[in-house]
Chains A and B, each alone.
Chain A
Amino acid sequence: MSIEVRNLTFTYAPGMPDETLAIDDISFSIADGQICGIIGHTGSGKSTLLQHLNGLLKPGSGEIYIDDACITDGKTKLVDIRKKVGLVFQYPEYQLFEETVAKDVAFGPKNLGLDAEEIDKRVRDAIAVVGLDYEEVSEKSPFELSGGQKRRVAIAGVIAMNPKILILDEPTAGLDPTAHAEVISMVKDIHEKLGIIMIFVSHNMRDIANLSDKVLVINEGKIALEGTPREVFAERAFLQSMGLDVPPIVNIVKKLEEKTEDFTTEALTADEAADEICAYINKQNR
C-alpha cells in the first residue's frame, strides 16, 4: 500500500463571491507502513486534503493514486475507496447514532455488505484494537460512555471496515490529558497491531515528533515543509514564522544550546534530550 498525491488543487464555491482556493498544487507520497503527521493552522487546508484521500471531495485538478490505482479518474467506485481508506473526522463521537456500541461499530461493515458472522468478528476485533472491553461496552448505549470512550468507539467504527489506510483528523482534540495520552498510545497500538499506513493531524508537536515517520507542514493550501520529524523540526525559525512551533522539549534544549558554549543538540523527544544532557554533564565532570 502506498499513497501518492500529484498536483492536487481544490477551490471551494468556484464562481461565487466567496470563492476560496483551499488546496494549491499539493504533491506528496507516503510509503507502506508509515505514520504521517500533518501540521498546519486551522483553515490551512488540512481537512480538505484528507477528504480528498477518501473520495468525499473531488479535486479541481490533479490525481491521487492509492497503490498505483488512480482514484480520481471518476471510474473507481466510491465504496472501493472507502474500503481501503478509513477516515475518522474531528470529534467523531458526534456521528454515533445506534442504540448500542456493538450496533454502531457494525454500521460500517454492514454498509460493505458483509455477512453477519464476519461483521460480528470485525466488531469484536475493532473494539479490542481501540482498547475497550467488548463484554463490558458492547450492549451499552454509546451515549452513556465517557468522552474518551465515545471517541474510541467512533474510531472502532472505522477500523471495523478493515482499512488499509487510516486517517485521523485531530484524534485528541478536546480531550483531557489522561484521555489524550490514552488516545495517543492507542494510535501507536493500532499501528503496531495492524501495520497499516496512518495519517494523523495534530496541533500537538510532541505527538507529531513521537509518532510520525514523516511530517507534512501545510500552510495556506501549500506544503511548506516535508520530511522526517527531525528534518522538519530543525526549521524552528521558519515554523515559528508561520505561527507553528517545535515540540516544547526542542525549545528547551535549543535554549540550553544557546546558553552553553560546547553543548550541541539534535534531540526531539524527552528521552533523547535527557541522554544528551547527561552525556554533556558527564563530559564536564571528567
Chain B
Amino acid sequence: MIRDITLGQYYPGKSVIHKLDARTKIIGTIAFIVELFIVNNFWGFLIAAGAMFAVIGVSRVPLKFIFRGLTAVFVIILFTFVINLFMVDGRVLWHWWILTITYEGLRRALFMAVRLVLLIIGSSILTLCTKPIELTDGLEKLLKPLQKVGVPSHEIALMMTIALRFIPTLMEETDKIIKAQQARGADFESGSIIQRAKNLIPILIPLFISSFRIAQELALAMEARCYNGGSGRTRMNEIHFKKKDMVAAVVLAVFLGVVIASRWI
C-alpha cells in the first residue's frame, strides 16, 4: 500500500550512473531542469527526452519502475493539461458551449505536459541512482561555500540524512501498527470519509509515541558518540571527483549547448 510510492526511492545497481559522484548528478539534474525551461520548441524536448532515455538505458533501472513513479502525479499532469487546453486564446479549433480549444492552447497544453513528465522522470533518476546518504553528502559539499554567508550546510544535510534514514523505519513501524490494530478488528477500508479519518487515530497515536521514542534514542546514541555539530568532523568515505565525472561534465556541457542551440531551429 504505502510501498507503491517510488518517488524518492533508491534502486540498487552498479551502473556508471550509480557510481558517479553525487555532486555531478545533482548539478546534472539541476542543469536538466533549467534546460527544460530554456527549451521553446518540441525539437528541444526531443533532444532532452533522447538524452534522458539514454541515461536511463545506461543506469539499467527498469522503465516499468520509473513510470510507476509517474502514476502518483498523474492527476497534477492531467490538471495542468486541461487548464492550458481551455484557457489560451488564439485560432479556434473546436467550440462547444463555454469550452473552446484553440491551436495555441493545444500546443501549450502538450508542451506543459511533456515538460512536467520530463521534469519528474529526470529528477527521479537522481534519487533512483544515488544512495540517500551519498545524496546528502554531495549536497553538504555543494552548500559548503554558502557556510560563509551563514547557511548551516552541515545541519541541513544532517536533517535530510536523518529524515531519509527514518522513512523506511517509520514505514515499517506504521505497517506494524496497522497490522496490530487490524488484528484487533480495526477496519481502515470502509465507512465515510469522517469515519475513516477517525479510524486513523489508533494508528497515529502509537506512531507519534514511537517517533518520539526513536528520536530520543537517536539523540542519546549521537551524544554517546560525542556528536557536537559539523565543525572538525571527518568522514569515512570522502567523495572525490573522478575521471567518470569529467566525462559526464563534458557530455552535459555538449547536451546543454545542443539544447540552447535548438531554440533557433
With A17-B12, A107-B202 as given contacts, are A95 and B181 in contact (CB-CB < 8 Å)?
yes
Cβ of B185 and Cβ of A108 under 8 Å apart? yes
Cβ of A111 and Cβ of B210 under 8 Å apart? no
How many whole Å from B2's CB to the nearest CB in chain A? Answer: 13
Determine the chain A residues whose CB is within 8 A of the CB of B210 once the complex forms: 94
Considering the complex, which residues of chain B in the window 161-190 have a beta carbon less than 8 Å from any beta carbon of chain A? 176-177, 179-187
Q: Give Cα A107–Cα B182 distance, bound, in whole angstroms.
A: 11
With A17-B11, A17-B12, A107-B202 as given contacts, are A92 and B185 in contact (CB-CB < 8 Å)?
no
Q: Does B201 contact A (CB under 8 A)?
A: yes
Q: Give Cα A78–Cα B190 distance, bound, in whole angstroms.
A: 13
How many whole Å from B188's CB to the nearest CB in chain A? Answer: 11
Q: Does B98 contact A (CB under 8 A)?
A: no
Q: Does A242 contact B (CB under 8 A)?
A: no
Cβ of A97 and Cβ of B12 under 8 Å apart? no
How many whole Å from B162's CB to the nearest CB in chain A? Answer: 21
Q: Give Cα A158–Cα B183 distance, bound, in whole angstroms.
A: 8
Q: B3: nearest residue on chain A (CB-CB)?
A: A13
Q: How many residues of B contact A (CB 8 A)?
A: 20
Determine the chain B residues whose CB is within 8 A of the CB of A111 once the complex forms: 184-187
Q: Does B206 contact A (CB under 8 A)?
A: yes
Q: Does B205 contact A (CB under 8 A)?
A: yes
Considering the complex, which residues of chain A in the window 1-60 have a beta carbon less than 8 Å from any beta carbon of chain B? 13, 17-18, 51, 54, 56
Specify which of B12, B177, B187, B201 is in contact with A95 (CB 8 Å cutoff). B177
Q: How many residues of A contact B (CB 8 A)?
A: 27
Determine the chain A residues whose CB is within 8 A of the CB of B205 once the complex forms: 97
Q: Of residues B11, B187, B202, which shows the largest number of chain A Cβ atoms within 10 Å of its Cβ?
A: B202
Q: Give Cα A82–Cα B187 distance, bound, in whole angstroms.
A: 11
Q: Give Cα A267–Cα B204 distance, bound, in whole angstroms.
A: 49
Q: Give Cα A196–Cα B180 distance, bound, in whole angstroms.
A: 21
Q: Give Cα A235–Cα B185 distance, bound, in whole angstroms.
A: 40
Specify which of A83, A92, A143 is in contact with B180 (CB 8 Å cutoff). A92
Q: Which residues of B contact A (CB under 8 A)?
A: 3, 11-12, 176-177, 179-187, 201-202, 205-206, 209-210
Q: Which residues of A contact B (CB under 8 A)?
A: 13, 17-18, 51, 54, 56, 78-79, 82-83, 86-89, 92, 94-97, 107-108, 111-112, 143, 157-158, 161
Additional 5 contacts, C-beta under 8 A, given A94-B210, A95-B180: A78-B182, A79-B185, A95-B206, A107-B181, A161-B185
Which 6 residue pairs are nearest across A and B when measured between Cβ atoms?
A111-B185, A97-B205, A108-B184, A95-B180, A87-B183, A89-B180
